[in-house]
Amino acid sequence: MALAQHMVGRSLGDRVILGAVVALAALWIAPVAWVVIVSFKPNSELMMSTASALHPPYTLKNYTDVAATSGVFHWFLNSIIVAGGATTATLILASLAGYGFARTDFPFRNVLFVLVLLGLAVPEQALIIARHQLFTDWKLHNTYIALILPGLSNAFGVFLMTQYFRSIPKDIDEAAMLDNASRFKIFWRVLLPLTIPAQATLGIFTFLTYWNDYLWPLISATRPEMFTLTVGIASTQTNFAQSEGLGFLMAQAVFAGLPVFIVYLFFQRYIVQAVAGAAIR
Amino acid sequence: MNASVWPNAGVANKPAVTEDALKIFTTLLLASVALIGGAGLSFGADKTEISVARFFGACEADYGNVTDVNKGYGECGIITAMMNKFNAESPDTHVKVDIVEWPGYDQLTARIRSGEPPTISVMHESVISDYQSRGLLEPLDDGLKAVGIVASDFTAAAKAGVIKDGKIFALPFDTHTWLWHINLNLFKQAGLIDSAGGAILPKSANELLAQAKQFKEKTGKPYFIMVLANETAAYTRTFDTLLYQQGADFFADPNKVKFASPEGKTALTLLKTLYDNGDITKNEDYSATVSGFAAGEGGVMINGTWLVNDYVVEAKKPGVPLSNGYAVAPFPQLYANPKVWADGHSWVILKANLTDAQRKSAYSFLKFLWDNDFQWARTGHLPASQKVIDSADFKALPFRSVLAPLSVNGTALPAAVRHQFGVQDIEGEEVASAMRGDKTIDAALADMEDRVNKLLQSK
């Protein structure tokens, strides 16, 4: 009905485009909808036929099973602490570094900036064994510090914030200086608020990266009480979960994905703004 | 770009950081530090605590408080009930269960490297060599003997799986192997049922091809349902079985494999012929084959011991394709001998600075597991205890008397072969390439041999 209303009074070209967009959206949403539907089906039925997902009976048991797993809320809290802590720390560090590269002058600044950018080209997998060794020597495994620290050297964050600070006219700084504002005050009160879209983008990407991270927590947080949600829910899967526990598996996916969904829901405006802004610049 | 944004700012007149700003900044930093501050859980108990790492999943909602192992069902239910029972009954030991995602070896290796290994871990017998050859496992001979377990109690397959260099490095728990799950209703339709109502199974490769042809003509369906998508293990297990049955000693030297052989070519040719003839379902992943067999898509599903119970239950339902029409048999003997691929779950004690109390607790737990091997056999896996295999209780379980010979015929790669999971992946990829026609059979065998040998040269 809503689609029909949108079609009224539109040109044929617009209708074709709108129809194509709706079809693509439906195509995108289909697997998500399938995950949700399957999560409400008994595992034993799904094992014998996944087509059974299209008709009753449905059940909440998969969700109550997720909730009944003793560690699940602790893992959830761990993920919140790790993703939240890392996001906060990344925003602080990347903002300070971005401001430094964009607005101050110091020896070897450009060389250092290039070195930071080179960090973008190094995949995590290339460093992970050396990093594990380092954290072993520091006796930091199975701590929140070990889960948060590695991602704080965020080359993308520094690059993003540097470019954003550079795009702000220096006249603003100079006007504030005439008002006798300190350097920190200019950074904190004048420039930082102007970078909110970039902060939001960086914050969301950082949060989601940490929330979804699997490999590093798998080998660093090896005690169940230190598992993050990704590692924790993976540990609860039976050996042949894809056939014997499909409904439970999907309920876990929905449970783990909800916070991410909520983050996107509340902050999508900032993501769109920042990406569009970056494109224009 | 290089000009200072503070052109007039010298040391003397550089703007001062205000007190307010410092407060805010410090608050933020402290908040971050507080967020990343570590917090640990502690376990307070009078008992000696040992940690046991295992996969098999978590099912606390159904079995979190169950201590009667008879009430457990499936791998997860039975192992959970077992551990609950041990903790409830042991006067001096508490087992802290660390559940890991299957198969868990990345995590185990990381734990060992970081100096925090679990006391005991479940381990596939095919993986023991990787850890034992690096000196990471405790030999268990003396400890097991002290609690009344000796190697002569083990089945032949279990002995081969856990004894390395003449020492026991793991307590065997089961043998799992490759079976033919059979849809008797379709076999009947195909005219492949004997006078006793059992399935007529092939006794040679030619008989197999003839049966497959007859089956397709009579039922319109493929003879085999096989896992061919997103999978390497299934290809390898079938291929190895065909090699074993021809007597190919492809790992005569544990550090150098020989796949490019007449036996290799015969095995791969048979699989490719079945594939090309349309006698195998195509493009199905693990879960598709499991549900496909239940839906009657084909006559035989080649899969493991762990599915027996589920299909027994399915066959009891009225009005489904398997109704009163399910049987299971060891992989039939197509060549000179009846060997079949096998592996097993076992329990190892990791080398660590255990106290005497912890070591004693570890062996008492192993003894408990051994005493409950029959319960574990209810999963469908074959027991590692010869006494259990021979018992009336075991033989009374569905189809177990038919499957019992697999505790002798089940064959693993030689104990000294390292990187067996890696070998399995390479074999599977090359067998798949040949079956699909991406490579010739000769090229696939040559590449398989070359890649595995390169892997075996690595540490």
Q: Residues of A numbered 210-269 whose beta carbons fall under 8 angstroms of chain B's beta carbons: which are they?
A: 218-220, 222-226, 231, 234-246
Per-residue pLDDT of chain B (459 residues; tens, 9 = 90+): 333 333 333 333 334 444 454 454 445 444 544 444 433 344 445 899 999 999 998 888 889 999 999 999 989 999 999 999 999 999 999 999 999 988 999 999 999 999 999 999 999 999 999 999 999 999 999 999 999 999 999 999 999 999 998 999 999 999 999 999 999 999 999 999 999 999 999 999 999 999 999 999 999 999 999 999 988 999 999 999 999 999 999 999 999 999 999 999 999 999 999 999 999 999 999 989 999 999 999 999 999 988 888 899 899 999 999 999 999 999 999 999 999 999 999 999 999 999 999 999 999 999 999 999 999 999 999 999 999 999 999 999 999 999 999 999 999 999 889 999 999 999 999 999 999 999 999 999 999 999 999 999 987
Alpha-carbon span B185 to A220, nearest angstrom? 51
At residue B341, the 3 state secondary structure works out as strand
Q: If you measure CA to CA, which chain B residue comes closest to A67?
A: B61
Q: What is the value of ipTM here, to two decimals?
A: 0.80
Q: Tell me the per-residue pLDDT of A60-103, one tens digit each, with 9 for 90 and over.
A: 999 998 888 878 899 999 999 999 999 999 999 999 999 999 99
Distance from CA of B27 to the nearest CA of A (A): 12
Q: Which two tokens stand for residue A265?
A: 């829901």
Q: Is B344 left (phi over 0), alpha (psi -120 to 50) or beta?
A: beta
Q: Tell me the per-residue pLDDT of A243-273, one tens digit each, with 9 for 90 and over.
A: 778 898 899 889 988 888 887 788 777 767 6
* CB pair distance less than 8 Å for B58 and A243: no
Amino acid at B360: K
Q: Tell me the per-residue pLDDT of A95-135, one tens digit each, with 9 for 90 and over.
A: 999 999 999 999 999 999 999 999 888 888 899 999 999 99
Distance from CA of B90 to the nearest CA of A (A): 22
Separation of first and last alpha carbons in chain B: 52
Alpha-carbon span A212 to A247, nearest angstrom? 21
Helix axes A246-280, A196-212, angle to 10 degrees: 150
Q: B226: Cβ–Cβ under 8 A, 6 or more apart, which residues?
A: B234, B238, B280, B281, B284, B289, B301, B302
Beta bridge pairs of residue B183: B326
* CB pair distance less than 8 Å for A81 and B35: yes
Q: What distance lies between CA A105 and its chain's CA centroid?
A: 33
Q: Residues of A numbered 47-86 whose beta carbons fall under 8 angstroms of chain B's beta carbons: which are they?
A: 47-50, 61, 64-65, 68-70, 74, 81, 84-86
Alpha-carbon span A87 to B57, nearest angstrom? 32
pTM, to two decimals: 0.84
Alpha-carbon span B170 to B347, nearest angstrom? 5
Closest CB from B15, B75, B107 relative to A238: B75
Residue matched to tokens 């998969």: A62
Cβ atoms of B155 and B385 within 8 Å: the answer is yes
* CB pair distance less than 8 Å for B64 and A243: no
Distance from CA of B343 to the nearest CA of A (A): 15
Alpha-carbon span B445 to B427, nearest angstrom? 9
Q: If you measure CA to CA, which chain B residue comes closest to A136?
A: B114
Alpha-carbon span B185 to B391, nearest angstrom? 31
Alpha-helical runs (H) found in A138-245: 144-148, 155-167, 170-178, 183-185, 196-212, 215-220, 229-235, 241-244
